[in-house]
Amino acid sequence: MVAFGVYSAFGVFFKPVLAEFGWTRAMTSGAFSLSMIISGLLGIVMGGLTDRLGPRIVLTLCGSLLGLGYLLMSQIGAVWQLYLFYGVIIGIGMSGTVVPLLSTVAKWFLKRRSMITGIVLTSSGIGTLIAPPVVSRLISAYDWRVSYIILGSVVLVVVVLAAQFLKRDPVQMGQIPYGESVGREQELKSETGGFSLKEAVYASQFWVVFAMFFCTAFCTFTVMVHIIPHTTDLGISATTAANILAAIGGVNIISRVVLGSAADRIGNRQVYIIGFILMSAAFFWLVPATQIWMLYLFAVIFGLAHGGTGTLSSPLVAGLFGLSSHGLIFGVLGLGITIGGAVGPFVAGYIFDVTGSYQLAFLVCAAIGTAGLILAVLLTPIRGKQGKIMTI
C-alpha cells in the first residue's frame, strides 16, 4: 500500500517540479520510465533471490533503498539527480515490491489463488486512493521538497518493518499451502514441478503473456503519470485532478477482489479479455472528455480494467508454468510490464511536447489496449511435464 501509493503520486509532483526547473514533460517522464526499466530488470534478480532466500531479506533491502530514494528526491537540483535518485535508486527499491510478494502469495495459496492475489493487490488500490490527495495537500501546505522528506520517512519505516513478518514458501517451512487436500495433491505436485525458465521461454504462450503484460503496463502507467497534468491542462484544479487519480485507486480496490474471485471460476484469460475491452473503451472515452464528470467516469471504467488485469498476472503465470521457478519466470515476464511502463509515459510526454495535447497519446493507448485484447483471445493452454493441461 505504501510503496505503490507513493509511487503512483509521481504525477502529483509533475507540475511543481516542472515549474521550478523548466524541464520538458518528456524529460521529466523519462525518470519514471527509467525507474520502470530498472525495476523490471532487477525484478528478475529479485524473483530468483526470493526463490532462494525468501521474501523477507529481499523486501528489507528494497524497502531501505526505496525510502532512501524518496529522501534524496528532496535534494535534487539538476536533471541527472532526478534520473539517479528516482530512476535508479527508487527503481531498484520498486523491483522488490511486485515479483517477490506475488510469487510468495502464489506459493502459499493453491485454492482461490486469484482471489487472494486480488485481495493482496487491493493494497495498491488503497495506496492510489489515499496517496495522491494526501500528497497534493502536503505540497500545498509545505512544498514538494518537504513532502518528499515526509514520504521517504514513511516508506522507509513501514516497508522495512512490514517485511519482517513475511515468510518463505510453505514447502521450505515444512507446511502446506492453503487448499491442499487429498483430491488436489496431484495438482499441487504438477504445479510445484512446473517449468524451468529455459523450458518456459520455448513456449509460444510465454511470449503472448509477455506482450499482454506490455500492453497492460503501457496503458496503466501512462495514466498514472499523465492524468493529473492532463486534467489540470483542462483548467481543473490540482486537488480535483488528484481525486480523479484517487478514484481510479478506489475502483481498483473493488475490481481486484471481484474480478480476482471471478477468475477462480471462469479463468484468468476470460477476465483479461474483459479487462482489455474496458481499458480500450476507457481511452476512447477519454479523448473527447473535458468535463469533471466525464473524467470521473473514465476513472471508474479504467479502474475496473486495471484492477482485473493487474491482479491476474501472477496467477496466470502460476497456472501456465507452475511454481518451481515461479519467481524467476514471473520476473522475466515482468520485463513486459517494465518495458510497457517505461515506454508508455515517455511516449505520451513526447506526443504532448510535439502536439501540445494528449489526445493522440490516448488514442495510441486505446490501440495498445485493443492489441492486448487480441493477444488474450489468442492465448491457449499449455501441456505440463506430466501431460496435464495447465490452467489459464
- The Cα 260–Cα 245 span in angstroms is 22
Alpha-carbon dihedral angle through residues 42, 43, 45, 46, given to the nearest 10 degrees = 120
Distance from C-alpha of 327 to C-alpha of 48, rounded to nearest angstrom = 6
CA distance 125 to 326: 24
pLDDT of residue 188: 47
Report residue 113 as a C-alpha cell. Answer: 489463488
Q: Closest Cα partner for 63 from 100, 31, 29?
A: 100
Global confidence as pTM: 0.74
pLDDT at 159: 94
Residue stretches of the chain with pLDDT short of 50: 182-183, 185-192, 387
Evaluated on CA atoms 105, 106, 108, 109, the torsion sign reads positive
Distance of CA 95 to the CA centre of its chain: 11
Cβ pair 314, 106 in contact under 8 A: yes
> Which residue stretches of 201-267 are H helix?
204-233, 238-266
Each residue of 168-221: pLDDT tens digit?
877 767 788 787 764 454 444 444 457 888 888 888 999 999 999 999 999 998
The pLDDT value given to residue 182: 45
Phi-psi region of 267 (alpha: psi -120 to 50; beta: other; left: phi over 0): left
Contact call for residues 112 and 179 (beta carbons, < 8 A): yes
DSSP string of 237-250? -HHHHHHHHHHHHH
Give the SS3 label for residue 178: strand
Phi/psi-derived region of residue 328, left when phi > 0, alpha when psi is between -120 and 50, beta in every other case: alpha
Provide the CATH number for the domain formed by 2-167+188-378 in this structure: 1.20.1250.20
* C-beta separation of 56 from 364 below 8 A: no
> Which pLDDT score is estimated for 392?
67
- Sorted by sequence, the CB contacts under 8 Å of residue 38 that are 6+ apart come out as 87, 88, 91, 92, 95
Residue 172 has a CB neighbour count (10 Å cut-off) of 12
